[in-house]
Structure 1
């Protein structure tokens, strides 16, 4: 891949668009930052690959990597119209790389017609401080919550005739519709296409049928969906959604109990999920015994 100009880059470093072959290097940079900021790495290589394989995504025009020789030391990714991801190896922070990447992201987003660009980072991290210094405002706060090891959630009884099962290929469009309808009630973004959503779910490396679970009412209507997968020895609930006209009946709790049980059956010793202030669901998770393990902030700047 040919080098590219990245104004503000320190002497001795080079920049170029990324390719799918850079996924491991990008994951290494993200993981190194997370170890410093959170005490452990949360992002997986599978997460990076799944996001890059969305049909609507073009890696060559959406990314820039910063290299010190052959070592990838930082990257930026314009993952969506107003959504960016970045990371800089802790050993290379404080040299202006993050600032150069932020300015590249702003230019790239502006060229695509976006009026805002932002990203989510651990609260109080080096990235959080840099963004605040650059004028990025707070959009929302997010949390990772974990079910403590050994803690059991009392499973609510399913109504007679209700069923929980793995999704089949024939169920995928209905699952996508329910989840997107639920998330778009509070998320200010365009609807993900079925193809893009599928790349993150059944197209995610390592996907197994138990990762997508469906809850049906006694009448046979799809009323709830969970997407759960293993991240190392942890079960991560990436998505949980209940149809609007079936909320207030404890179905979210039912779905969580099932998701955590399936993850433990497949080797998870920890179970966790993420939520933010837009969804208003933190109290629901805390009531079943989950505890906050990390706090994140989503910051953005108007272009």
Structure 2
């Protein structure tokens, strides 16, 4: 994929931490246009960008019309790309330029493939499909609707739920990374990068991080939940493999939903995809699919 020219008058530069607010503004405008709701807040961006491994100067690009940021792209992992174009600047060729930039950046970084997750049937999905990006997997956003009953899910005898403490950090990092790496084809996050997105995420409060312990006091499950506007968001949940099948995940979800509601959330949300096999679990606890996404990717060696 050769990089097409940008429309006349537009300029580009790398992003910095001072660009969090304008990047958020582009994301919010795009979410409103595509989803009819806002899902991202400033803490999401800061949590990602404050990771020690992130080099914004090398892995990001912003597109500016005068002084205004109108679009951006980020290579956020070995095969993970993010990009958004403000709806007022659609159909100018900016998205095509960003797609080519992501391919070239991934190739430069030594990746043989680059992918992005897109609202199924949305403008970005249609664009990347036309450019030859192929589906890899399906993902879903789910919600526990406002007013839905949060049924009690008692833990088995000997197990307990409590807030995370600093002594749990390594165990929780290990447990959750092990769980996600069962189905995710990526390198293990460092403890420092993981912490930036979890207990060091801006605005973190003690109730956001909960662990399940067994009769010996060992951490065998963990949940990360926080508020996103009027919604609770279950960001991470995992159970150690040898402890599965005991109902721990259902108890952890009910605990997360109740905690979010107690702190003002009208609904509780999470995301999953077809690689995890967890969709049925979430539907059984009363969650419903609110949007469907497709992860599209393209080889960097043949474009």
TM over 0.5: yes
Quote the residue 1:271 is aligned against: 268
TM-superposed CA distance for 1:288, in Å, is 1.0
Give 5+ residue unaligned stretches, structure 2.
Answer: none
Quote the residue 1:291 is aligned against: 288
Quote the residue 1:166 is aligned against: 163
Aligned partners of 2:150 and 2:257 also within 8 Å: no
1:128 counterpart (125, 130, 138): 125
TM-superposed CA distance for 1:114, in Å, is 0.2
Runs (4 or more) in structure 1 with deviation over 4 Å come to none
Note if 1:193 corresponds to 2:179: no
Note if 1:252 corresponds to 2:249: yes
TM-superposed CA distance for 1:14, in Å, is 0.7
1:150-161 paired onto structure 2 within 5 Å: 150-161=147-158
Structure 1 residue matching 2:152: 3-state secondary structure = coil
Structure 1 residue matching 2:32: 3-state secondary structure = helix
- Alignment partners' CA distance in 2, 1:240 and 1:155: 18
- Alignment partners' CA distance in 1, 2:86 and 2:153: 45
Residue-by-residue CA offset, 1:205-243 (whole Å, 9 max, x unaligned): 101111110001122221110000000111000001011
TM-superposed CA distance for 1:7, in Å, is 4.9
Structure 1 residue matching 2:45: 3-state secondary structure = helix
Residue-by-residue CA offset, 1:139-170 (whole Å, 9 max, x unaligned): 11101100011112322222222111110111
- Alignment partners' CA distance in 1, 2:158 and 2:185: 36
TM-superposed CA distance for 1:123, in Å, is 0.7
Residue-by-residue CA offset, 1:238-270 (whole Å, 9 max, x unaligned): 001011111111111000000111111111111
Note if 1:92 corresponds to 2:121: no
Residue-by-residue CA offset, 1:16-64 (whole Å, 9 max, x unaligned): 1111111111111111111111111111111011101110010011100
Q: What TM-score comes out, normalization by structure 2 length?
A: 0.96
Quote the residue 1:119 is aligned against: 116
- Alignment partners' CA distance in 1, 2:224 and 2:90: 35
Structure 1 residue matching 2:235: 3-state secondary structure = strand
Aligned partners of 1:138 and 1:299 also within 8 Å: yes
Aligned partners of 1:159 and 1:218 also within 8 Å: no
1:185-224 paired onto structure 2 within 5 Å: 185-224=182-221
The number of aligned residues is 298
Note if 1:54 corresponds to 2:51: yes
Aligned partners of 1:155 and 1:253 also within 8 Å: no
1:1-150 paired onto structure 2 within 5 Å: 7-150=4-147
Quote the residue 1:3 is aligned against: none
Note if 1:229 corresponds to 2:234: no
CA RMSD, aligned part only? 1.0
Aligned partners of 1:140 and 1:278 also within 8 Å: yes
Aligned partners of 2:150 and 2:258 also within 8 Å: no
Q: What TM-score comes out, normalization by structure 1 length?
A: 0.96
Structure 2 residue matching 1:296: 3-state secondary structure = strand
Give 5+ residue unaligned stretches, structure 1.
Answer: 1-5
